[in-house]
Amino acid sequence: MSALRWLTLDVSDNDEGVVTIEALASTDAAGHAFALAEAQSVLDWAWREFPDAHGPADEGGQWDHDLQSGAGADGWHSVALTLTGTPEFARAFEREFDLPGE
């Protein structure tokens, strides 16, 4: 199991069986590269474990993602990785990474 150091996780699901995992970080400039690298390591895991299943759920994909990164005028940097996936994807994610309340 891999622990995430820079990203905090929030997990939710909907009535259609889609699980949303939000991985967020807000850092100073020095921590931004570490948070972004951690988000990339999560994506690398997803691509390794589900290589042919990426895409929107309504098109048959088992997982999809959106990665946003930016800097605010106040000097803080943000990383937001949103993963959506099937319950199977979420269970695999849970086995690999520490989830809130687990």
pLDDT tens-digit readout, 71-94: 998 999 999 999 999 999 999 999
Torsion of CA 7, 91, 101, 80, to 10 degrees: 20
16: CATH: 3.30.1360
Does the residue 79 lie in any domain? yes
Does the residue 75 lie in any domain? yes
Does the residue 20 lie in any domain? yes
The domain total for the chain is 1
pLDDT tens-digit readout, 15-46: 888 999 999 999 999 999 999 999 999 999 99
pLDDT at 23: 96
Sorted by sequence, the CB contacts under 8 Å of residue 82 that are 6+ apart come out as 20, 21, 22, 23, 65, 66, 67
Does the residue 3 lie in any domain? no
Q: Which residue range forms the structural domain that includes residue 74?
A: 8-96
Does the residue 2 lie in any domain? no
Does the residue 72 lie in any domain? yes
